[in-house]
Amino acid sequence: MRCLGELETAVMEVLWAVGESAKVREVLDRLDTGRSLAYTTVLTVLDNLHRKGWVQREREGRAYRYRPVLTREEAAAQMLHHVLDVSGTPEVVLTHFVGTVSDEHAEVLRIALRERDG
């Protein structure tokens, strides 16, 4: 999955918040980007998200209903994998990351690693 632009991220945030599939008009009505957007702009963004594999669509009458392929948390994990993949030195990136996390996040990581290792 490719990373998202600013408007694509805003549209995904709406879809994740809705919790079910939504038509273009429903997404447009909920978008709060600080600027006025045309219906066709949101339609194009949703079509691009579909092409990129971020949303699935299902025809309903003459329109489509769109829904996220992944949860917000799954998408964030995928993006972290992407960052590690393109960094060239994932070990160094992880070491820097671990050195900057809060104690609370470090404990979450410890627990997750223990659970993963059984």
Is pLDDT above 80 for 2?
Answer: no
Rounded distance between C-alpha atoms, residue 99 and residue 112, angstroms: 17
Tokens encoding 21: 């599939």
Q: What are the boundaries of each domain within the chain?
A: 6-68, 72-116
Q: Tell me what percent of the residues of the chain surpass a pLDDT of 90.
A: 84
59-71 pLDDT, tens digit per residue, is: 999 999 999 999 9
Q: Helix/strand/coil (H, E, C) string of 52-93?
A: HCCEEEEEECCEEEEEECCCHHHHHHHHHHHHHHHHCCHHHH
State residue 102's pLDDT score.
95
Second CATH level (architecture) for the domain 6-68: Orthogonal Bundle (1.10)
More confident residue, 21 or 79: 21
Residues 48, 6 contacting (CB under 8 angstroms): no
pLDDT at residue 18 tops 90: yes
In which residue are the tokens 């339609």 written?
Answer: 43
Confidence of residue 43 (pLDDT cuts 50, 70, 90): very high
**What is the rounded CA–CA span in Å between residue 76 and residue 79?**
5
What would the two tokens of residue 98 be?
């671990």
Which residues are registered as beta bridge partners of 58?
65
Entry pTM? 0.81
Contact assessment for residue 8 and residue 49, using Cβ atoms and an 8 Å cutoff = yes
